[in-house]
Amino acid sequence: MRLALTIAYDGSAFYGSAYQPRLRTVEGDLASCLVDMGAIESAAGGVVHMASRTDRGVSAAGNVCAFDASLGPESLLPGLVHTLEDIWVTGAAVVDDRFHPRHAAGKTYRYYLPGQGLEVDSMRQAAQIFVGRHDFSAFAKLDGRNPERTVTDVGVEQRDGLLVIEITGTSFLWNQVRRMVAAMAAAGRGDITPEEVAQMLAGAGGRDPGIASPEYLLLARVSYQPAIAWRPVSGSIRFLERRMADMAARHALFGDMHTLAAGVASK
């Protein structure tokens, strides 16, 4: 039986999603847990297949994995929910044996950027330059694959002092999203113009804006055609809510730290 799962995870806890010997990864933790439960025979790389290989530090709300299991979801899901740490299983589906999660119709990423000092209109102008099918050689770490990719939508939303950049495409090259974000942020700071971003995309060179940090990147969702009828896994959501409450407490702690420290510094 081939079982597919939608998973969320805290990327700061892992050395990326793909299996690496002797390093903690999302795939490695999933495979080890499944072996302990008797669902699969080996925790080696390539047994659990991932829709997207996220880099070290990158988090996910809706990555997808699939594997051939000797146990059904009724037996597997409770164990996964209560055993996995920093990974939350949010949906499950029994899929066709030919299903591979990497054959997705689209992927959406979100990047969370402090908005202070950034010109939003310039960022939005730069964002629209990326929409369409382009050669993204100037905005990726090339690995021999075809550098042409289709970006279907890029949006920049203001939210509580942050800028949330959402990028949707059919597939992405290595580091493509983070390099696109870096270019948009550079345009927002006035370091480069949207026109220079267009020139870079066209292969005309220009100032390299660098690459955005992985810790603020989220793989929001992966879509398929036809759509998969996911069965919700509510138990994991409760554990995720506990993590959110812990982080809210830390946020309040740092807020008070700033207020108290600023009071001392002003005396």
3-state SS of 56-85 is CCCEEEEEEEEEECCCCHHHHHHHHHHHCC
| DSSP 3-state of 257 | helix
Query: Which residues touch 160 (CB under 8 Å, ≥6 apart)?
Result: none
146/138 Cα distance (integer angstroms): 13
Give the DSSP letter string of 191-245.
SS-HHHHHHHHTT----------GGGEEEEEEE-SSPP-PEE-HHHHHHHHHHHH
Q: Which position among 55, 135, 153, 208 bears the catalytic label?
A: 55
160 is catalytic: no
DSSP 1-33: -EEEEEEEE-GGGSS-SS--TTS--HHHHHHHH
Residue 172: count other Cβ atoms within 10 Å of its Cβ: 21
What is the C-alpha to C-alpha distance for residues 181 and 96, in angstroms, rounded to an integer?
A: 36
Token pair for residue 62? Answer: 């809706």
Determine the Cα–Cα distance for residues 201 and 195; give it in Å rounded to an integer. 10
- Residues carrying an active site annotation: 55
